[in-house]
Structure 1
Amino acid sequence: MAKDILDGVICDVNNCVYWEEGNRCSADEILIVSHRGTKASTVEETDCQTFERS
């Protein structure tokens, strides 16, 4: 059975179990965390390079 691929999600971590050829992600969901454990104010405070403060 083929895995669903999240559209628009790019992944450079090719040793992750969800990594698929072409830097695609096959995880069911994405979890992004703040380095401080609180609300993030900048992209540098997260592990998400597409973070934009709302």
Structure 2
Amino acid sequence: MALDVRCEVQNCVYNRNGVSCGADEIFVVSHKGSRASHSEETDCKTFKPANV
């Protein structure tokens, strides 16, 4: 399991210091059902916009 999750989405409420994710858990889904061949076929459902 990953100990350090990187994130560059600046307007996410879980973004810490512009480079890491502080969420308790990460939820990633595939556009192609239960399998993906490339990262472009996935989305992070953990994202929540920050009140910036």
TM-score normalized by structure 1?
0.58
Q: 1:5-44 residue pairs with structure 2 within 5 A? A: 7-44=3-40
Q: Percent identity?
A: 56
CA RMSD of aligned residues (A): 2.3
- Which has the larger share of strand? 2
**How many correspondences in the alignment?**
43
Compare CA radii of gyration and give the structure with the larger one. 1
Unaligned runs of 5+ in 1: 1-5, 49-54
Say which SS state the counterpart of residue 33 (structure 1) adopts: strand
Unaligned runs of 5+ in 2: 45-52
Are the equivalent residues in 1 in contact too, given 2:10–2:18 (CA < 8 A)?
Answer: no
- Return the structure number with greater relative CO, CA threshold 8 A, min gap 6: 2
